Amino acid sequence: MKKTLHNTLAIFILFVSSLLGLSNSNAQTGTITASPETVTEFTNGMGSTTLTVNTQNSPRMLVSLVRTLPDGTVTSGPTTVIQNNSASREFDLGYIQEGKIHTFTLHTGEAGSSVLGDVLDTVIVYGGDVSLSVNEIESQDMEAVSVFPNPVENVLNVKTSKDILAIEIYNIIGQKLKKVTVDGSNKATIDVSALQQNLYVLQITTLDGVLSKRFAKK
């Protein structure tokens, strides 16, 4: 009796495990990249970039666009539909506007629907020199600071070559949003869950001076 019960339990566990494996293998995933991420050539204020999208296990994926002006104003752009029979595609986009930040976000979707689902990935394309406020505080020594994950959803990790004294977060028009004090460490974690989806700049004060780097909140 005990042996039969043991065998039955083992079969049940294997059955559940197989179901979980099937569920994981069918998870909707996707990535989106842009080339170039900074557009420098424009005709009548418009430039071009190429989006590359790779998706799996979704009947429909959607790419949404949000444009951010240097003054912080946000405007919505077109939504591109990707059918499951085109899981990997490239899009040549000729509507990158000079002086604006373009945030392309890959979402899950349902067949026959244009409702944006879960966010899978984000890429940001700069329309040239998008903001003097950002560029004025961006560090030239980019190898001295590492910021990850980028784009970030909730928790941002910062690592530098020198001990960190303080970290400040700025929006794209140079307004300070948050300050974090760090005591004698070259690593820090920052809760950015309250930030809206957009582009930001970290200004990092170390024993040797000030570093800064851009990051995207998704």
Evaluate if residue 5 carries a pLDDT over 60.
no
In the prediction, which pLDDT does 46 show?
92
Q: Last residue of some domain: 70, 99, 130? A: 130
Total structural domains within the chain: 2
Asked whether residue 12 carries a pLDDT value surpassing 50, the answer given is no
Has residue 15 got a pLDDT over 50?
no
Q: How many CB atoms lie within 10 A of CB 183?
A: 8
* 140 lies in the same domain as 126: no
**17-57 residue pLDDT tens:** 444 444 455 788 888 999 998 898 999 989 999 999 988 87
pLDDT band at 86 (very low <50, low <70, confident <90, very high): low
Check: CB of residue 202 under 8 Å from CB of residue 181. Answer: no
The pLDDT, as a whole number, for residue 94 is 92
Residues 110 and 162 in one domain: no
Q: How much is the pTM?
A: 0.56
- In a domain, residue 213? The reply is yes
Rounded Cα distance, 67 and 98, in Å = 11
CATH number reported for the structural domain that contains residue 116 in this entry: 2.60.40
Distance separating alpha carbons of residues 189 and 211, to the nearest angstrom: 16
Comparing 77 with 92, the larger pLDDT belongs to: 92
Q: What is the average per-residue pLDDT within 80-101?
A: 81
> Domain of 126?
29-130
Asked if 42 and 128 count as a contact pair (C-beta separation under 8 A), the reply is yes
Nearest alpha-carbon partner for 173 in 117, 218, 131: 131
User: What are the tens digits of pLDDT across the range 128-149?
Assistant: 865 434 444 444 455 578 888 8
Instruction: Indicate if the pLDDT at residue 176 is higher than 70.
Output: yes
When pLDDT is cut at 50, 70 and 90, the band that residue 85 belongs to is: low
Together in a domain, 51 and 123:
yes
